[in-house]
Structure 1
Amino acid sequence: MCGITGFAAPALTGRADEVLPSMLALIHHRGPDEAGYYVDDGVAMGTARLSIVDIDSGSQPIGDPTERFWICFNGELYNHVELRAELAALGRPFRTRSDTEVVLQAWIQWGPDCLRRFNGAFAFAVRDAEADELFLARDRFGKRPLFYADRPGELLFASELKAFRAVPGFRYELDPRELASTFATWTPLPDRSVFQGVRQLPMGSCMVVRGDRREVRTYEPLAVGALPFEGGADEAVELVRESLHRAVELRLRSDVEVGVYLSGGLDSSIVTQLATQLSPHQVRTFSVSFEDAEFDESRHQELVAEHLGTRHSALKITGADIAAHFPDAVEHAEAPAFRTAFVPMFLLSRHVRDSGIKTILSGEGADEAFLGYSLFRETTLRAEWGELSEQQRLDRLAGLNPELAHFGSAHRKHLLGLFEQFATERMPGLFSHEIRYQNGRFATRLLKDRATDPFADLFALVRDTPGYADLSATQKAQWLEYKTLLAGYLLSTQGERMGLAHSVENRCPFLDPDVVRAARAVNLRFDDGSDEKRLLKDAFRAVLPERSVTRPKQPYRAPGSAAFKEQRPEYLELLLSETELSRIDPIDPVFARKLVNKIMATPAAEISTKEDQAFVLLLSTAVLHHRFVQGAALPGGAGPDGALNLRTTVDRRGRARLGGTR
């Protein structure tokens, strides 16, 4: 895991020795072990490295023996051992044990077609000096970020957009249209950010840069349709078990110890069990617990840890912790957030790194692959609404979200009316998410510009996606979860960005391509939704505590606006001060003040979900504006020893290799 950055800009390369180290310094937290960069007459690129595979000789950038091709790589290639053997048999030369060199040699051998062979989490840049070409790519599920800014005469790219601050003349401005879309759907769309002129390379995509030409194409379209499977239920269970066994085995490949995030739920418990089975040492597990019992799952975490014999460590989180660390966590997220659950993960990753662990496994992606969210059962229920009796509707509603008070029996009549209202599609292509998007629509009232439909770009995305219209309602829901909340929030704001804030790499076995394909083959055939993730439960029931398998799913949540009401942190003045609030140009200060005043004056139990989410979105946007647009201090410039650790620089301008320090 690392951070990469650079530019294709002939006018800037004369200042590369000033600009590149500054860009790398701003993302040093992603790779504090060493840094290096490459420069030629038109392109400069660098890597801040977190050493996990081939610690001693895997320094970046890496070139091929001819020095025509150079790579800066962020991430891990889990099947690098197998690909190395295949490439060596084809005559490709290797000088290191690193997966980075495997990626480079695969690109030289197969070109962009190599991407479909990769099982990994990555974003990388390859320079072809002879063809004067820059190639950028991102993994198929968007596990690793890659931002770019296309400006006249230059293209900037980086793992985090804060790196652009080091580029002369670059300024951050919030984009009202993208902010509206993000408020409405809870996350930037796959190729967007909330800052003007800054985009993301979408998941499963690559870009070729030649002079002023940019060509972006999808190399791996997201597929959620069912795959053929000829076996029975027992074979389906075995397929799930074997694919996950192999996925965890691949992700334990590391030259450093690998730990596990243990939430106490089914998914992380499965990952933990497989890790204990496959790891040569006692597995270390880490979790967050909460002072507030409403959010705490510590007893379930301890049950699994004791059953599997892990060395367990829990970090207790209070509302004061969330309030104190919210601004720093938002700064690393670089996007507005609709809930605070990412802040405990920010603190947990710091605890993990302080415990000496650089790499962690998690259960992220299981609910998307194996249809674990209540959203999927809700979608099926709404689609079948007209065919059910009132009693059948009530029975089905009772099982949707048993952990939420507003789904209890006292609210059942209200829910009947709500589901009746949303039993027919009103937002073309977005049927599954229509109820949830009402909360997002409320949040867009915080913005001055309400003339543009905040869902317009999402409508366009689903409309223009080949084959989307032919999917079932459940498959469309799954597609939307992969494309929006998973890639845009769970893997980024709550996942990768919080981990790398403290130099901790997150690996996700449930997003292994073979696991996802197995789920597509057997999910809808052998799981009718009455028992969520039945196949996963059957596959691992014998090796987990019975309570871990049978207990209802409890979504990971954290205290919301209540934490800020109780603590009244100093930065809350960004919302309480009319002067500060009016500085955020896209925000309607009148509606914003009404919302803030209501939140501050209303008991926490009486604040609605949509109001709570809107408040967190507003506060996180205010922090982003303060720290990026207004230019309050951003991190950068120091590794663990207090200085950026430049090890190797390749300077093709003078054909010289410059030595540095580690």
Structure 2
Amino acid sequence: MSFWPARRARAASVSGRRSPESAPRARWSWRCAIPAPRSSPWTCRSPWTTCGPGSVPWRRSTRPTRTSCRSGSARSTWFTAPACWRRRARRLLTPSRCGDGRQLGGTTVCGIAGLIWCGGGAPPVELLLRMADVQRHRGPDGEGFALLSLDPCGSTSFSRNAPPPAVPQPVGGFAFRRLAILDLTDAAAQPMSNEDGSVWLVFNGEVYNYIELRAELEARGCRFRSTGDTEVVLRAYETWGMDCFSRFNGMWGIGLWDARQGALILCRDRFGVKPLHYHFDGTRLVFASEIKAVLEAPWARREPDDTAIADYLVHRRVNCSEHTFFRGIWSLPAGHFLRLEPGSASAQPRVAKWWEIRDHLEQPPGDEGACIERFRELFRDAVRVRLRSDVPIGTALSGGLDSSSVVCTARPLLRRGNQKAFSACYEGFELDEKRYIDLVVEHTGVESHITRPTAESLLSDLHRFVWHQEEPVRTTSMYAQFKVFELARRQSTPVTLDGQGADETLAGYPYFFPVHLAGLLASGRLGAWWHEAAAYARNHRRSRLHAWLSSLAGFASHRRMIRLAGRFSHEDDSSWVSPRLRRVAADIAADRQPVLRGRLNERLYEVFAWDGLPALLRYEDRNAMAHAVESRLPFMDWRLVVFLFSLPAPFKIRDGTTKWILRHAMAGTVPPAILARHDKIGFATPEKAWIRSGSTGPIADLIERAIASDPGWWEPHRLSRLWKRFREGQAASVGSLWRVANLVLWHERFSVGFNGGGG
């Protein structure tokens, strides 16, 4: 097998790359083509051009296909080259590297977009261009476009600098923005197709085990021109079909057009690390990495989704379902695929799950030491495969156990001087973790870089931050992460490793203690319960009565625990939210059916899959890609996640300590002072001081406008009283006021209309 196109997709490069006229000609292709018209800007000196939309490719008759290029509506555009041309092409275009001898390949994280017309129809090219432009920050290194056809050999790439080509039986198009991480040549350009042009791919993310998959595919007879993971994804789909996704270890949002089946396939990775959004109006489907690209479609209306807003204001949750804050724009759920066959005007997309964690749970080793060693091996390999890069790699370092474990594990795997650590610190803040950051830096010798976000920088960046996030955020901690990635890009480090995902698999948050204690009580292990309750009280400076009462709270669902906390904390009071939205919130996501065994594992998975981590992954992706940085998450390696959810609770919480197995596995690797930490700070910012300092500036203006506008999301008189108490220095909900200000700014920034209520 070989790779197509040899140089055709290179026409879709941005300024700064060599044009097809000046680029060396590829000597390798299984296609030949008739000379392009003289008027075409892609005419090459050789009559065997394969570089642009002006060429007419020949396809091998041995390819299995549903439609022949010699018949039907395609006859006038696509035809078989004469036998003498084919013989000469085989002599001249022998399999080899690119004509200039470069080793081709590439791995990219990027922005993808596409649209499909059910029943056919030429897509508006200008819309594809706008969808790429609005995601330029995700991929500043290049762009590419393709027009898709129901004819298996009718699709073609095109450039914004040339008139779009006509294709037979048009059905849609793809757009792509590239951030190059491995090989920087054009061989990794997307959209990418197979040799005969029947399968087209746009791919955002990384498949970390692409080297191993490539070897397996080569053993099956596949031949590669590139060295990156994009072609491996394409070849894997050709070889294994939809089963290929279960072989990938990575993060991705994928769009595939398979003209052989007449189907669009969208796929998202197991845990939703990379985003993928879509809108379907009955006849047209538009999809993209970011919502703002979907909104470029004129028929995607900018209306708020009451379900998402109610969840945000009442439950303080975002991204816990397929709903986005824009009505009718959906997030493809993690571990799901979408399939649409647009051959008829009545076609409907089908969304189905392709991966379920309980189908992959394993029997852990019976020996405790073997479990620790197994965890250590999996974690080290998860870090190792995420260090595959030809550009500098850094790490986000907060000083906590998770990020410190990543930094210390990566240190011996990297060349000296090839690792930078990026951190956020705050002068005079009681929760500042700089002393722990300094411990890790001294222990590993990494090059430390620190950003110091302030209230002034927050107010200055607020509009830009909200635009990149494109949905409201829960706290200002996400802004600190935004500044960390900004620092990484300024230091010319486009790849970072982060500790995201450890708290949700290793029970890192304090609210998991009541759940664990309740599980011990429910199982009748009273001695273990007494020991753990006493250890929890001792390590976290709580009374034993508090620990015992917490055991009872642990029997409640995660939602009920939040409501219970709201009775004692101003931060969780939602009485100021409108009765309409409170009713909507009450009907959201009733308690789900258990997925895993064990009270603690079940609660962990609830937070991992719905009520916590999905929001953090969205923040991570938008903050990193706002600055063209790729963030890789070793704790989200699916092998490690499955192993941890297969372990019983004592491997996560023991002796009043969270992340028990991680602490023991990292002994001798991470500084002892980090391993001994019992506090959980969680990338905290001086949020109360920031909001208070802005109470007479832009934030105050946002809240005043919220009170005056009355969109039906809150009760203005109650919100006014909340705001007054805060300005007078009384106890009031800083988090509630931040959410209101963030929601108003989102509404104004994206010109969102009102669809009911008071506005």
Question: TM-score, length-normalised on structure 2?
Answer: 0.75
Alpha-carbon distance, 1:587 to partner: 3.6
Give the corresponding residue for 2:735: 613
Q: Give secondary structure in 1 for the equivalent of 2:338.
A: strand
* 1:307 pairs with one of 422, 431, 443: 443
Query: 1:285 deviation in Å?
Result: 0.8
CA distance in 1, matches of 2:282, 2:704: 39
Question: Equivalent residue of 2:333, what SS?
Answer: coil
Q: How does 1:533-612 map to 2 (within 5 A)?
A: 533-556=659-682, 557-567=684-694, 568-570=696-698, 572-577=700-705, 581-582=709-710, 584-603=711-730, 606-607=731-732, 611-612=733-734
Contact conserved, 1:304 with 1:545, CA < 8 A, in 2? yes
User: Could you tell me which residue of structure 1 aligns to residue 577 of structure 2?
Assistant: 446
* Offset at residue 66 of structure 1 (A): 0.8
Distance change in 2, residues 1:231/1:391 (3 Å): closer
Deviation sequence 1:206-258 (CA, Å, 0-9, x none): 11011222111111124499631234122111111111111111000112111
CA contact (8 A) 1:289 1:296 kept: yes
The alpha-carbon deviation at position 533 of structure 1 amounts to 1.5
Pair 1:477 & 2:631 matched: no
Tell me if structure 1 keeps the 8 A contact 2:360–2:642.
Answer: no
CA apart distance, 1:94: 2.2
**Structure 1 unmatched ranges of 5 or more:** 403-407, 632-662
Q: Separation in 2 of the partners of 1:591 and 1:39?
A: 53
Give the CA deviation at 1:385.
6.4
How far apart are 1:602 and its partner, in Å? Answer: 2.1
The amino acid that maps onto 2:659 is K
User: Using the alignment, how far apart are the partners of 1:399 and 1:268 within structure 2?
Assistant: 26
Question: Structure 1 counterpart of 2:747, which letter?
Answer: H
TM-aligned CA distance change 1:447 to 1:2, over 3 Å: farther
* Alignment counterpart, residue 466 of structure 2, candidates 330, 354, 367: 330
Q: CA deviation at 1:137?
A: 0.4
Against the structure 1 CA distance between its residues 394 and 541, is the aligned structure 2 distance closer, same or farther, given a 3 Å change threshold? closer
Q: Deviations over 1:16-58 (max 9, x none)?
A: 3211111111111111111111112112111111111222121
**Other-structure match for 1:318:** 454
Match of 1:395 in 2: 534
Quote the offset at 1:379 in angstroms: 1.1
Residues 1:520 and 2:520 are matched in the alignment: no
Structure 2 counterpart of 1:513, one-letter code: W
Counterpart AA for 1:566: S
Distance 1:86 1:350 in 2: 38
Greater fraction helix = 1
CA contact (8 A) 2:112 2:202 kept: yes
DSSP-derived class of the 2:300 partner = coil
Do the aligned residues in 2 keep the contact of 1:445 with 1:591 (CA within 8 Å)? yes
1:624 alignment partner AA: W
Selected match of 1:624 from 734, 743, 746 = 746
CA distance in 2, matches of 1:625, 1:612: 20
Cα distance between partner residues in 2 of 1:254 and 1:538: 30
Shift of the 394–216 alpha-carbon distance from structure 1 to 2, 3 Å rule, reads closer
Per-residue deviation, 1:577: 3.1
Matches within 5 A, 1:49-64: 49-56=178-185, 57-64=187-194
CA distance in 1, matches of 2:752, 2:316: 26
Answer whether contact 1:87 1:105 (CA < 8 A) is retained.
Answer: yes
CA contact (8 A) 1:433 1:477 kept: no
Q: How far apart are 1:499 and its partner, in Å?
A: 0.7
Counterpart AA for 1:577 = R
For residues 124-168 of structure 1, the C-alpha deviation after alignment (integer angstroms, 9 at most, x for no partner) is: 100112322100000111100111111131111111101123212
Change (3 A) 1:326 1:400: farther
Q: Distance in 1 between matches of 2:575 and 2:216?
A: 52
Query: Which is further off, 370-379 or 61-70?
Result: 370-379
Matches within 5 A, 1:109-148: 109-148=239-278
Pair 362,523 (structure 1): closer, same or farther in 2 beyond 3 Å = farther
- CA displacement at 1:398 relative to structure 2: 2.6
| 1:105 pairs with one of 221, 228, 235 | 235
Structure 2 residue identity aligned to 1:50: L
**Distance in 2 separating the partners of 1:591 and 1:176:** 20
The structure-2 alpha-carbon separation of the partners of 1:37 and 1:111, relative to structure 1 and needing over 3 Å to count, comes to same
CA distance in 2, matches of 1:12, 1:614: 48
Equivalent position of 1:646 in the other structure: none
CA distance in 2, matches of 1:253, 1:534: 29
1:145-156 maps to which residues of 2 (within 5 A)? 145-156=275-286
- The letter for the 1-side match of 2:279 is A
Partner of 2:133: 25
Secondary structure of the 2:365 match is: coil
Specify the code of the residue in structure 1 equivalent to 2:574.
A
Q: CA deviation at 1:81?
A: 0.5
1:558 Cα deviation after fit: 1.2
Q: 2:216 aligns with which of 62, 68, 86?
A: 86
Whether the 8 Å contact between 1:6 and 1:156 is mirrored in structure 2 is yes
User: Conserved in 1, the CA contact under 8 Å of 2:499 and 2:633?
Assistant: yes
Cα pair 1:273 1:544 within 8 Å, conserved: yes
Counterpart contact for 2:563–2:572, Cα < 8 Å = no
Distance 1:285 1:20, change over 3 A: same
Aligned to 1:280, what secondary structure does the other structure show? coil
Give the match for residue 485 of structure 2: 349
Correspondence for 2:176 = 47
SS in 2 for 1:457: coil
What whole-Å deviation, never above 9, does each CA across 1:402-458 have from its counterpart, x for those lacking one?
5xxxxx66xx87x57974873653x5x856666467779733742351463514332
Indicate conservation of the 8 Å contact 1:261/1:361, yes or no: yes
- In the alignment, is the contact (CA less than 8 A) between 2:252 and 2:274 conserved in 1? yes
Contact 1:374–1:401 (Cα < 8 Å) also in 2? no
Matched with 2:654 is 529
Find the structure with the greater CA-based Rg. Answer: 2
The superposition leaves residues 616-642 of structure 1 with CA deviations (integer Å, 9 ceiling, x where unpaired) of: 2211111110111359xxxxxxxxxxx
SS at match of 2:423: strand
Deviation at 1:198, TM superposition (A): 1.0
Residue 35 (structure 1) aligns with: 143
* Residue equivalent to 2:28: none
Counterpart amino acid of residue 322 in structure 2 = D
> Do the aligned residues in 1 keep the contact of 2:209 with 2:249 (CA within 8 Å)?
yes
Q: In the aligned structure 2, how far is the partner of 1:503 from the partner of 1:233?
A: 42
Aligned length: 609
Alpha-carbon spacing, 1:448–1:34, altered in 2? closer, same or farther (3 Å): farther
CA distance in 2, matches of 1:258, 1:360: 6
Corresponding residue of 1:249: 384
User: Is the contact between residue 423 and residue 484 of structure 2 (CA under 8 Å) also seen in structure 1?
Assistant: yes
CA contact (8 A) 1:510 1:516 kept: yes
Please tell me whether the aligned partners of residues 279 and 300 of structure 2 are also in contact (alpha carbons under 8 angstroms). no
TM-score, normalised by the number of residues in structure 1: 0.85
Tell whether 2:500 aligns with 1:372.
no
1:229 to 352, 364, 368: 364
Q: CA deviation at 1:395?
A: 3.5
* Counterpart residue number, 1:501: 626
Question: In 2, are the aligned partners of 1:189 and 1:488 still within 8 Å (CA)?
Answer: yes
Cα RMSD over matched residues? 2.8
Contact 2:553 2:561 in 1 (8 A): no
Q: 1:455 to 1:256 in 2, by over 3 A?
A: farther
Provide Cα deviations, 1:173-198, integer angstroms capped at 9, x if missing partner: 11122211233152232312121111
- Partner in structure 1 of residue 98 of structure 2: none
Among 281, 296, 310, the alignment partner of 1:166 is 296
Gaps of 5+ in 2: 1-108, 149-169, 754-759
Partner of residue 92, structure 2 = none
- 1:5 corresponds, among 101, 113, 129, to 113
